[in-house]
Structures are given as structure tokens and as C-alpha cells.
Amino acid sequence: MNTIAQLWRTSTVRLTATFILIFGIFSILLLGFIGWQSSISIQRQQADDIDREVRVLQRIDTNQGVRAVAFAVERVSRSPGPGVYYLGDASGQYLLGNITDVPAEVLVTPGTYGFDYERAEALTDTTNQTDGRPPRAKSGYAVVRSVELSNGMRLVVGRDVIERRGFSAIIIQSFLIGVLGIILFSIIAGGITAQRVLRRIDTIRDTSTKIMSGNLSERVPVTKRNDEFDGLATNLNAMLDRIEQLLQGLKEVTDNVAHDLKTPLTRLRNQAESALREGASDETRQLALETTIAESDRLIQTFNALLMIARAEAGAPSGALSDVDVSAIVADVAELYGPVAEDEGIVVETSIADAVHLHANRELIGQAMVNLLENAVKYAKPHGEGQGRITVGLRQAGNRVLIEVADNGPGIPEADRKRAIERFVRLEKSRSEVGSGLGLSLVNAVASLHGGSFRIEDNDPGVRAVIDLPAAAV
């Protein structure tokens, strides 16, 4: 009983029951209409047959006389079927026909009538008299039309409607049986469907329960039917994969933040302790304060980068995107870093298309370019002898805008290119270089905010960093 109550509380079972109810009501109304139309059609057909026979007999009376009418009535009276015939004299007395008793009003006033009657089989079928049995009376209900012939005789022609009613009853009975069968089949099919749907939903619920208990590797099973539940399961599994990746990334970020912040905080404490040590000189205290400020600036820079990445990944607020001249932004940043690169013995070359406009955030595009050029200046130093070279490019290819910063340094192995975009990832193992490992993560977040992508390619030698943005408004 509890199982039935639980099933009834589910939306699937309720919708199935509602569908069966609507279908049953519609089927009953439809079958009732069909039965009613069938009965009317049979009734109309019988009325047409009666009118046709009356016209034929009237024509015989006109053309051949009453004797021919009598022969015709005698012949059709003995024919098997639902026909009802009566021929009487001018006073209404019975002469011929398969019924002998007709209500007086039918004979007095011509028209259409209905009445109960009885007739003996001997009047219609003489073959039954061979066994010596007495004729059996046959009762029924007739719909007739009475007319007065040219010589004053009374003619009644009609049809027995009992057979018509029986036929209508058979139609209705058959259709009702069909309705009951359809409803029963619908209930069975609905129950099976609801059970299968509930089984799939239970599978998803059980999987989510396991995931909530801490098993993040669980996934919703996907069948080979490729139905809407498989589509839902696929999307849920993709979401779970993404959540697992984010949690793994959060763990890595936490570990990297702890590592990267522990060292400068330790240095800050050591410098403060040395400045407070008894007997420390003014020069020592001055150096300690300068080191503290420098380390604080590095920490602030790291947190600013994290905040800017979070801001970019959260999406731009209303009004933050506007029509900007990307060509001018790229050219300004390249010009700004030209002297810095020159001090490092690196040549900066530009290939920037003119008047390229995007619906973008000027500050974030500029910050992404700054990060790319800082990385290029830091690593654009070829092995051995040779001139370091950085190429800054901006071009439009179809409906895409490509911002490229390439160098001829040692490059990044293909296996590490995707990992280099992650937060706090620094490919140099010693982590002795200045930096937080957030520069390329910010560039990737900015590209995603503008509906584009960021990728690292081989420049042979060196690295080519490409920001791929859509030319249309984002």
C-alpha cells in the first residue's frame, strides 16, 4: 500500500493517470457520437427505402391498376427481410400483406407512423409449414408510411426497426469493449512507462546521493538508447567532471597559495625581527623596512591578480563592455614595453592592423597584453648566442580577431602548455623567478569573458601566445 501511495505522489504516475482519464473520456464521447451517427444513418436509409417502395407501388397503381399493385404487395410480403406491408380496401379492411393489424389512425390519415405489431411466419414464409407446426407470431416495432391509392385503397409500407436497434446496440457494445480494452492497455503501458521513468530517476538520485557522501568519481550511467535521459545524464556527467576539475584546481591553488605566500611572509617576519633586534643599526632597520615594503608589494600584486581573475571569470558587469580600439591598446602596450625589452637586449617588432574595434573591456584587454609582454620579456632569451626577439601582432581573420605575442626563447613543451594556463603554475621547478604564476591564468579568463579563447602554440623556436576573440559583439 505504501508503494502505491509513493508511486501516486510521483509526477510521472499522475501525468500518466491524467492522460488515461482524458483519453478514456474522449474515447467514450467519440464512440457515442459514432454510434449515434450510425443509428441516424440507418434510420435515414430505411426512410429512403420506404419512400422509394411507396413511389414504385404508386406508379404501378397509376400505370397498371390495382390488380398489379396487389400482385406486387403479395410478392414483397413473402420476401424475407425487415419489410412491413399492408394493403386494405377503402374502409381499411385487410386484403394483403405480412401484417394483419394496423392502428386505425394509420389507415385514416396518410402519413408516417410508428407502432408495435405482430405477424405470423406463415404470412411470410410458407416453407416453415412443412413440419406441421402452427405458425409462430413475430412481434416487432415498425416505422411505416401510409398512403391512399387512386381507387381509395389503403397502402402501408414500412420497416421493422428492431433489427436496426440491435445493430446499433452491437456497434455500441463493440466500441465499449474496445474502449475498455484501450483503457486497460493504456493503464498497463502507463504503468510500465512510469516504472521505467522512475527507475532512471532513481538511478540519478542514487548517484547524486553517493556524490554528496563524498565520492566525486561517481557518474550517472548512460545507456545506448540515446534518449532524453541519456542526454540529461551526459550533461550531468559533464557538470560533475567540471566540478571535480574545479575542486582539484582549488586544492592545487590552495597548495600553491600556501607555498607562495609562506616564503614572503616568512621573509617579512625575519626582516621585522632583525629590525627589532637589540643593537640593530639604522642601516639594518632601513633595509628591513625596504624589504618589507617590497615583499608587501609582491603580496598585493598576487592578490590583485587573483581578484582580477575572479572578476573576469564572474563576467563583466552591466556597462563594463564598450566599443574600444584594440589596435590602439595593443600598440600602446607594445610601445610601453619597448624600452624594457631593449634593456634586456630584446628587439620588439610589431605587425598591428589598423582600426580594429571590439565590444570589450579596455582595462582587461590592456592587462592581458601587459601579462603576455612581461612573460615574453622574461623568457625571450634564446639558448646560447643570439638576439632575443618579440613579435606583437594584431590581425582580423574573417569573423575572428587574433592578438599574438611571439618570442624566440626556449619555448614551452607541448605537454605543459595547457597546464601553464592554470593558476599558480610555474614551470620552473625552483620557483626562484619573480612572479606568482597567475599571468597566463588572467589572460585566459579575459579571453573567456569576451567569448573567445587563449592558446599557446609553438613558434619554432619559442612560444606564440594567441588571444582569439570574436569580431562580433559579445
Q: Pick the closest to residue 199 from 7, 9, 4, 5 (CA basis).
A: 7
Question: Tell me, what's the pLDDT at 128?
Answer: 46
Q: Residue 441 to residues 188, 369, 422, 435: CA-CA distances in angstroms?
A: 57, 13, 6, 13
Higher-confidence position of 129 and 449: 449
Percent of the chain with pLDDT over 70: 79
Highest mean pLDDT among 39-43, 292-296, 372-376: 372-376
Residue 107 has, within 13 A of its CA and on its CB side, a CA count of 18
Q: How high is the mean pLDDT of the chain?
A: 78
Confidence of residue 253 (pLDDT cuts 50, 70, 90): low
All three cell numbers of 104, joined, read 386505425
By mean pLDDT, which of 70-79, 196-205, 339-348 is the weakest?
196-205
Higher-confidence position of 455 and 38: 455
Q: Judge whether 50 and 159 are in contact, CB under 8 Å.
A: yes
Question: Is the pLDDT confidence value at 180 over 70?
Answer: yes
- The pLDDT tens digits of the residues spanning 279-307 come to 777 777 788 788 788 778 777 766 776 66
Q: Judge whether 309 and 442 are in contact, CB under 8 Å.
A: yes
Strands (DSSP E) contained in 47-103 are 83-88, 94-97
Question: Tell me, what's the pLDDT at 3?
Answer: 59
**Dihedral angle of Cα 24, 29, 32, 37, to the nearest 10 degrees:** -140
Question: Is the pLDDT confidence value at 469 over 80?
Answer: yes
Higher-confidence position of 230 and 382: 230
Higher-confidence position of 311 and 402: 402
* Domains of the chain, each with CATH number or no CATH: 65-160 (3.30.450), 219-314 (1.10.287), 322-470 (3.30.565.10)
Q: Judge whether 320 and 449 are in contact, CB under 8 Å.
A: no
**How large is the average pLDDT for residues 418-437?**
59
Percent of the chain with pLDDT over 90: 3
Q: Which residue stretches of 277-361 are H helix?
A: 282-314, 326-343
Higher-confidence position of 146 and 40: 146
Question: Tell me, what's the pLDDT at 431?
Answer: 46
* Spatial distance between the Cα atoms of 187 and 17, rounded to a whole number of angstroms: 8
Question: Tell me, what's the pLDDT at 136?
Answer: 52
- The pLDDT tens digits of the residues spanning 266-283 come to 877 887 777 777 677 777
Q: Pick the closest to residue 202 from 14, 18, 10, 15 (CA basis).
A: 10
Question: Tell me, what's the pLDDT at 319?
Answer: 52
List the Cα angle 207/198/19 in 5-degree steps.
150
Q: Residue 218 to residues 228, 243, 249: CA-CA distances in angstroms?
A: 20, 12, 18
Question: What Rg value do the Cα atoms of the chain yield, rounded?
Answer: 50
pTM over the 0.75 mark: no
Contacts of residue 47, defined as CB under 8 A and 6 or more positions apart, other chains included, come to: 143
